Structures are given as structure tokens and as C-alpha cells.
């Protein structure tokens, strides 16, 4: 029961974070566009990441389809670890690391504590 509570809390916060950042990226808000430019990425990447984040949240929350869930978690991990390293490469301060590191940690916790029916079964 404890693991299930941990899973749902982490997954709810992860989903909220990914949906909110995905929407901000789809809307191409000025602050987000400025950050992407600062990191050296093209503006169109915001649309791609925003769509993938929203699809990833749907994949993680919908029951069944464990293989797609694994891909969604992997995508979240790659996206957030890429964000951390991008901020590092740009010489940004600790404030810029907080969001990506938090979402990276929530991704790991949600993945680790996911229920058995959301895992790929090895034969």
C-alpha cells in the first residue's frame, strides 16, 4: 500500500509538471522561447517537446500498454537529463536546475514504484 501511495503522489506531480511545461512550450511563451534561445535550441523544438510531453503523460496515466509506458518514462528521463546538461553547458545557476532535476527525480520515483500491472512482464 505504501508503494502505491508513493507511486501515485510521484506520478501526479510528474504529470502536473510535464503537462504544465508541455503547455508552456506549445504556447511558445516568451520566457520559454528566451530560455530555448539562451540554450541554443531552435524555437520549433518547443512544439515537438510539448507534444511529446503531453502524449507521455497520457501514456503513463492510462492503464495497460506497459511497453508504451516504458518509452514515455525513457522520454521523460532523456528530456529532463538533457535539460540539466543544457543548463550546465550554458553556465546557468542553481535556479535553472531546480525544475529539470525535480522532474527527473519524479520520473525515477514514479518508474521505480509503478505497480506490477504497469510493468513489462518478462517471459
In three state form, how does the secondary structure of 4-39 look?
HHHHHHHHHHHHHHHHHHHHHHHHCCHHHHHHHHHH
pLDDT at site 123:
64
- 40-72 pLDDT per residue, tens: 999 999 999 999 999 999 999 998 899 999 999
Cβ distance 86 to 32 under 8 Å?
no
- Mind giving me the DSSP string for 52-77? HHHHHHHHHHSSS-HHHHHHHHHHHH
pTM, full prediction = 0.90
| DSSP assignment letter at 119 | S
- The pLDDT tens digits of the residues spanning 67-123 come to 999 999 999 999 999 999 999 999 998 889 999 999 999 999 999 999 888 888 776
Q: 5 burial class (0-12, 13-18, 19+ CB within 10 angstroms)?
A: exposed
Q: Is 34 exposed, middle or buried (0-12, 13-18, 19+ CB in 10 A)?
A: exposed
Amino acid at each position: 500500500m505504501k508503494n502505491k501511495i508513493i507511486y501515485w503522489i510521484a506520478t501526479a506531480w510528474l504529470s502536473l509538471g510535464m503537462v504544465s511545461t508541455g503547455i508552456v512550450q506549445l504556447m511558445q511563451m516568451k520566457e520559454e522561447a528566451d530560455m530555448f534561445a539562451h540554450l541554443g535550441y531552435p524555437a520549433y523544438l518547443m512544439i515537438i517537446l510539448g507534444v511529446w510531453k503531453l502524449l507521455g503523460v497520457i501514456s503513463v496515466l492510462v492503464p495497460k500498454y506497459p511497453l508504451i509506458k516504458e518509452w514515455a518514462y525513457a522520454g521523460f528521463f532523456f528530456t529532463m537529463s538533457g535539460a540539466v546538461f543544457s543548463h550546465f553547458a550554458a553556465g546557468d545557476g542553481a535556479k535553472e536546475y531546480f525544475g529539470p532535476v525535480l522532474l527527473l527525480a519524479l520520473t525515477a520515483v514514479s518508474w521505480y514504484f509503478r505497480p506490477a500491472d504497469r510493468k513489462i512482464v518478462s517471459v
